[in-house]
Structure 1
């Protein structure tokens, strides 16, 4: 009996192509499970973890009762954040400050004065400055939450038990 027959089968039963495909699949499976490679993101290489504070601003958020909403947000000690559409997790809500709504009114002498905005529909809107805090990877390019750099202008979405809205980053501080 010949090792290879005229149709390219080993001992007349197993095709060389089938054997080659089985060996290739076995090598891939062994490579995936026994040598999975490095874990973690590239941003974590050569970085340390430190606490940071991030100030975010929300303007024109429509709420039925803005004063109650601001108190509720200040009482919640944590909120979930999503940075550039990637969920990061929970961070601490350090402070919530209501920002006044005003309108610039030109005066007869050419100067401009700021007065509270009298429009009644603004009774249902809230402007606020929120300070968030938590641990972040500190890289040479700045702080990283999850796999996203956090810098001034970075869009962040915050989500709590009764709210979910987008804010914009206005300040980032690395705490010592």
Structure 2
């Protein structure tokens, strides 16, 4: 009697490959070579300074301290909304050399009188890891572009600072 030779069908092959990849991933995570094993050192309240330049608006009170402000980091909405802790505003400036050429002078931009620069500070709780702060699964660092969204605005800014607060 001849023995029938068994062939592996595509579904069985896929299951074997998935099992091997899962075992490899589990082994790498146990060895400390995966991003899932980041140790949380603690939870801190943080203040995030967001620099927004060239906002064209006549409403200079668009950001109000205490109001909720939704943020989006890397196209991922962060919910619930954060609170605005502080706001500072300056008109958009242009620079010129002084007539003697020794100083630089700054003046409000005459070509764009409704352009403004804002520094908005939002606050929330964040997990502190050895690599930095993580807000609801999103790493946040200086230089990250984030969107601020409120009732009257959706504006893109850049993280200028992130610091723990008491």
**CA distance in structure 2 between the partners assigned to 1:52 and 1:74 by the alignment:** 19
SS at match of 2:40: coil
Matched residue pairs, number?
Answer: 133
| Higher-strand-fraction structure | 2
Flag the 1:115–1:94 CA change in 2: closer, same or farther, 3 A. same
**CA distance in structure 2 between the partners assigned to 1:149 and 1:50 by the alignment:** 14
Task: Give the counterpart of 1:117 among 91, 108, 127.
Answer: 108
**Largest Rg, 1 or 2:** 1
TM-score by length of 1: 0.67
The answer for the alignment partner of 1:104 in structure 2 is: 95
The answer for the alignment partner of 1:8 in structure 2 is: none
| Higher-helix-fraction structure | 1
C-alpha displacement of 1:175:
2.0
Give ranges in structure 2 of 5+ residues lacking alignment: 1-11, 16-34
Give ranges in structure 1 of 5+ residues lacking alignment: 1-20, 25-40
Q: How does 1:1-176 map to 2 (within 5 A)?
A: 42=36, 45-63=39-57, 65=58, 68=59, 70-75=60-65, 77-89=67-79, 90-120=81-111, 122-176=112-166
Check the 8 A contact 2:65/2:85 in 1, yes or no. no
The answer for the alignment partner of 1:36 in structure 2 is: none
SS at match of 1:72: coil
Instruction: Give the CA RMSD over aligned residues.
Output: 2.3
